[in-house]
Structure 1
């Protein structure tokens, strides 16, 4: 069975991690290859404006499969081989999502543990069910965040809170996640997907090309200088001014009517 299932509703693509038997673990299966393929497909499809990511069952994702980690005890699996396995394995997920220009809403339906938390941090917007919990728990099994968590989590909650979570491995609940900015909303479990879809609908109502460029500017702004970002912004703006959707938006505003984007 595939790890990811897809459901398309116009410009909104809902993707569900669908292996509840393994608590939607991200290793020991085809999760990496499927996430990479998903990102390639979405980048090539201009009709997709928003992606919603969630999990099936009571858990969002348990991260790495701890039982599968026992194979690293084998002396034949050298540190060099393990390093390459991470490079060619789970580290491909953050790199693929980082290159995705479509906004991604993460609907966290339950515990997001280890790499599961980091996966949520790879998304642009996080909405949590009241049953969700979050833990950067790698240290509790004697390893480090091998999937980029040390880069992702501080950008979501700030360095001090990220350090506290990473050094203790303790979980925080949805309300604590809201207070520290890890998520932007907390809703009842039965309202999680409706809330995510309503937000996705508001995003999808906007011009797709401008949306993709806006996300790219936000991402680049996290790691570049103001001068460089201004240059990139000017280039994107030059493209945006020449799109049919910009012409329609300005015309509709002047004519006092709703725009009809292509």
Structure 2
């Protein structure tokens, strides 16, 4: 399949999916979201692939959703399409019959961080910045962010982290259990390659069976959370605080939220 905003390479039981909008920090617009959904659904039905590595082109993993797209997509139909693409890509990612690895360098924020958290294994370089920062523009996490955060740190801590929306270092994220490996700057590629080799030389079918058992029992919960995120995000998009958050981001100033 041919894509414009992502790259996909497959060889020797491994697929590598690369976010490919480096000129805009690999932010996800309509087209990229649709291509990601299409690609992950395609991979879901490809039995030859047993490991998927997700990374970003250039000097960043992904800044998340495209802010400029949010400014111009006032049509409720457009926003409905966005949430449909997000739900499709997350459900496909969660159900992939393969080991998934997020290879983070630079930064993973917002929807980009949600997708990273949806992977089985997360590797981040020591100078990376990690943020579930939807709160800064008056929104709630999407992309299954609520589900994946809760799975990793529990409900109480997930709420606190989501509400704070702080930028975390890999050290902080590792201590919290939000990532699995911290590596030196520029070392994620070689580390992931070694990790892939180790996994492929393991009894990977047994590993995938365990993943299937654990994920199948949680699939209905993830589906429900994606629906609730979609409904909640529609409500948040209509708030004054969201408009203020977007304007403050564009104007590079401190937000003045009013709880409206």
Q: Using structure 2 for the length normalisation, give the TM-score.
A: 0.77
Distance 1:145 1:84 in 2: 16
Residue matched to 1:117: 113
Render the CA deviation track for 1:152-184: whole Å, top value 9, x for unaligned.
211122223322221121111110011111111
Give the gaps of 5 or more residues in structure 2. Answer: 221-260
| Aligned partner of 1:104 among 97, 100, 103 | 100
- Displacement, 1:135? 1.0
Residue in structure 1 matching 2:19, options 14, 17, 20: 17
- Which residue does the alignment assign to 1:45? 46
- CA spacing shift, 1:154–1:39, aligned 2, 3 Å: same
Residue in 1 that maps onto 2:7: 5
Secondary structure at the counterpart of residue 178 of structure 2:
coil
Whether 2:175 is the aligned partner of 1:179: answer yes
| Aligned partners of 2:123 and 2:181 also within 8 Å | yes
- 1:57 is paired with a residue whose SS is coil
**Residue 88 (structure 1) shift:** 2.1
Q: Is the counterpart of residue 168 in structure 1 residue 164 in structure 2?
A: yes
Residue aligning to 1:60:
61
Once the 2 structures are TM-superposed, how far is the Cα of residue 208 of structure 1 from its aligned partner?
A: 4.9
Residues 135, 165 of structure 1: 8 Å contact kept: no
Matched, 1:148 2:150: no
User: Which segments of structure 1 move beyond 6 Å, counting only runs of 4 or more?
Assistant: none
**What SS is found at the alignment partner of 2:55?**
strand
State the match for 1:259 in structure 2: none
Range with greater deviation from structure 2 (140-149 or 179-188): 140-149
Q: TM-score, normalised by structure 1?
A: 0.76
Q: Is the 8 A contact 2:33 2:82 kept in 1?
A: no
* RMSD of aligned residue pairs (Cα, Å): 2.1
Q: Take 1:35 and 1:48, find their aligned partners in 2: how far apart are those partners?
A: 17
Task: Kindly state the Cα deviation for residue 203 of structure 1 after the two structures are TM-superposed.
Answer: 1.3
Matches within 5 A, 1:174-253: 174-222=170-218
Q: Residues 191-232 of structure 1, C-alpha deviation per residue, up to 9 Å, x if partnerless? A: 1011111111111123454343222112235469xxxxxxxx
